[in-house]
Amino acid sequence: MSLSSVPLEERPALVRQHFSRLSISGFIVTRGDEYLGEYVAPHAERLAWLTGFTGSAGLAILLEKEGSVFSDGRYTVQMAEQAPASLWETHHGGQIPPRQWLAQKAQGVRIGYDPKLTSQKEFLSWETAGVQLVPLDENPIDLAWPDQPAAPAGPIHHHPLKFTGETSRNKRDRLAQQLRDAGQDAMILADCPSLAWLLNIRGDDISMTPVAHAYGILHAGGTADIFADASRFLDAPEDTGIRPCPASSLITALNGFSGKTIRLDPATTPIWFRMILGRAGAHVVDGNDLCTLPKAIKSKVEQDGNRQAHRLDSIAMARFLHWLEQHGTGHHETELTARLEAFRALSPDYRGPSFETISAAGPNGAYPHYRAEKGRDSILQPNSVYLVDSGAQYPFGTTDITRTIWNGPDEAPAAIRQAFTAVLKGNITLSRQRFPKGLPGYRLDTLARSALWNLGLDFDHGTGHGIGSYLSVHEGPQSISVAPRPTGLVPGMILSNEPGYYEVGAYGIRIENLLLVRESSLKDSPCPCLEFEVLTHTPIDRKLINVNQLTTEERQWLDHYHATVLETLRPLLEEELHPWLERCCAPLS
């Protein structure tokens, strides 16, 4: 990632030059932007600019003479490779949290942070005795970054009812009633996907995530303000209850809440709002963003739209996997020349990727969030593992899929087939599981890991995350992971199912389908149950399957899955691909 003409080794010193004037001895650099999003525009890549680390999660702490970068298990190797060891320590944040590092390194000193880039929840995770955390009006990264890109302010357009299935007025009325019931006058909308969902709008301020950068306020009467200049709107708001306001008027609007009770989400709202509202005399109440849960429960129109998106995406994946088998190895193709996006672009409904494709050959697949770089992209070698994790945006849905392929012609080594089949068993077990309505996703996580655990293996990331509908590819509050998040699963939610295994220096394995939560087909059960509908229709590489590891039930499930893939895709694919598809989807022998 090219973020600046300033050499990477010189950037910490440029930032430290501003410490004295700001009366600080250190600074915490967060990954998120002013909207606390996972995916950020180039101007907000402050962590990457300072440290060289380009992962989608993490932070850095820069002191006067040292510094450290923190992230999770997906990025431990990447941090060590990208952040110069002469300038930065790197730590798994779950093993050495930033709070612990600050307690050891920064006793008695003032550490600055940017309150516009920090949530209350994140701030509280840093607090430790003997370290003074100081909110700053100026960000020293912005002061030191001479060629920082401008913040985006692109067009905002209406997202029509044929894709949403519910009007903004109806959504606002539902949530406004909850505000009135709680005795609250308004709620701050700082999360861009929430704002997009509530107002039925979309934008292009972030690559691969169709949202507009703007803040909003939902009032208890059902009206909503969006703070974005009028020139940005390509068409009129859906109804008169949505009021566009100049972005410059936000502070004035917040100051007008004196004596009012205002709700904000401590995890998704910059702490700056709390500071402004507090000074204005408003009563600030912590509460979850009321958009988050209903946004995750897709309407019938959104469910049908996501089925359509997955059919289109599965056509592209089938064409790509066929091309990969015919041309992907032995022809000097690389991780970057693999043609998946070209096949997706054949659909007129394709709106671009939903995240940067992970195209990983051989040992690069051992990095769960690997990114190939031009000039350093590996050739797809024969007799090796190739992992491709990608997704697409369509106006009616968002996709995310991972397939792991053995580039023959020789038989894959037994150890690789054993690990792959254990991952597959986890994927199948989770896919076919019925469960009580409202069960939190974390209680299903062990289903995806059990076969790996029996081999002494595991993976250091979640099993499943929520998916937006023509919004962010990563969406809460639902998830399937070891983290004990309490949100219960309900019909209409979409989650990924992506167990994996990573042999550092050798290969990576991940199999990912998307699942729609639905009512169980089991009738007359005393316990109301749910089950999953698999949305993804793409063959799983049988060359990596050790059939003897599968139970009879697992083999039956996989044969049925492949029969469904064949039935779905054969009428939609060109005839010359039919023999290949039939071979990929044939019952296991």
The C-alpha atoms of residue 305 and residue 328 are separated, in whole angstroms, by 32
**Exposure b/e, 349-388, CB count within 10 A at least 16 = b:** ebbebbbbbbbbbbbbbbbbbbbbeeeebbbbeeebbbbb
Measuring CA to CA, which residue among 404, 402, 401, 501 is closest to residue 448? 501
Residue 131 has pLDDT above 60, yes or no: yes
For the segment 404-432, what is each residue's pLDDT rounded down to a tens digit? 999 988 999 999 999 999 999 999 999 99
Sign of CA dihedral 122, 125, 130, 131: negative
pLDDT value at residue 564: 98
* pLDDT attached to residue 342: 95
Per-residue confidence (pLDDT) for residue 463, from 0 to 100? 98
What does the alpha-carbon distance between residue 97 and residue 539 come to, in Å, rounded to a whole number?
41
Do 498 and 428 contact (CB within 8 A), yes or no?
A: no
What is the sign, positive or negative, of the torsion defined by CA atoms of 89, 95, 99, 102?
negative
- In 3D space, the residue among 58, 23, 24, 28 whose CA is nearest the CA of residue 40 turns out to be 58
Q: Which stretches of 19-93 are assigned E, i.e. beta strand?
A: 26-30, 59-63, 67-71, 89-92
| Nearest CA-CA partner of 509 in 408, 411, 389, 428 | 389
Buried b (16+ CB within 10 A) or exposed e, 135-165: ebeebbbeebbeebeeebbeebbbbeeebbb
Residue 328 DSSP class: S
Nearest Cα to Cα of residue 364 among 93, 3, 81, 51: 81
Angle between helices 414-431 and 552-569 (to 10 degrees): 80
- Tell the CATH superfamily of the 8-144 domain: Creatinase/prolidase N-terminal domain (3.40.350.10)
Q: What is the model's pLDDT at position 101?
A: 96
Classify residue 473 as exposed, middle or buried by CB count within 10 Å of its CB (0-12, 13-18, 19+): buried
State pLDDT tens for residues 140-174.
999 999 999 999 999 999 999 999 999 999 999 99
Cis-peptide into 7, omega within 30 deg: no
2: confidence class by pLDDT, cuts 50, 70, 90: low
List, for residues 563-587, the tens digit of each pLDDT value: 999 999 999 999 999 999 999 999 9
What mean pLDDT value characterizes the chain?
95
Report which of residues 522 and 306 the model is more confident about. Answer: 306
Q: Tokens at residue 473, please?
A: 């590819």
Cα angle vertex 356, ends 154, 412, to 5°? 170
pLDDT reported for residue 4: 82
**What are the residues whose beta carbons fall under 8 Å from the beta carbon of 192, sequence distance 6 or more?**
35, 37, 205, 206, 209, 211, 212, 213, 214
Q: How far apart are the first and last CA of the chain?
A: 46
Rg (CA), the chain: 25
Residue 312: phi and psi, rounded to 5, are -60, -40
Residue 127: predicted pLDDT: 93
Confidence at residue 373, expressed as pLDDT on a 0 to 100 scale: 83
Q: Is the pLDDT of residue 1 over 80?
A: no
Alpha-carbon distance of 264 to 519, in angstroms, equals: 33
Domain boundaries, the chain: 8-144, 156-294, 297-559
d(CA 553, CA 569): 24
Look at the block and give the residue holding tokens 């910059």: 270
Average pLDDT over residues 384-403: 97
pLDDT tens digits, 524-576: 778 889 999 999 999 999 999 999 999 999 999 999 999 999 999 999 999 99
Instruction: Choose among 391, 425, 397, 408: nearest CA to 511.
Output: 425
Write out the E strands in 299-415: 358-361, 384-390, 393-394, 397-398, 401-407
- The yes-or-no answer to whether 8-144 and 156-294 have a common fold is yes
Amino acid at residue number 497? N
- Domain 156-294 class, CATH top level: alpha beta
Q: Which two tokens stand for residue 315?
A: 């056509």
Beta strands in 449-503 (DSSP E): 464-466, 475-480, 494-497, 500-503
pLDDT value at residue 494: 98
Question: Does CATH number 3.90.230.10 belong to domain 297-559?
Answer: yes
Q: How confident is the model at residue 56 (pLDDT cuts 50, 70, 90)?
A: confident
Q: Which residue has the higher pLDDT, 505 or 332?
A: 505
Q: Which two tokens stand for residue 549?
A: 């590891």
Q: How far is 483 from 480, CA to CA, in rounded Å?
A: 8
Q: How many helices (H) and strands (E) does the chain have?
A: 18, 27
Q: What's the whole-number mean pLDDT along residues 352-370?
A: 92
Q: Distance (Å, rounded) from C-alpha 519 to C-alpha 579?
A: 36
pLDDT given at position 330 = 66
CA pair distance 373, 148, nearest whole angstrom: 22
Report angle CA 302, 303, 307 to the nearest 5 degrees: 115
Residue 458: both structure tokens together: 């595991």
- In whole angstroms, give the CA distance from residue 472 to residue 208: 8
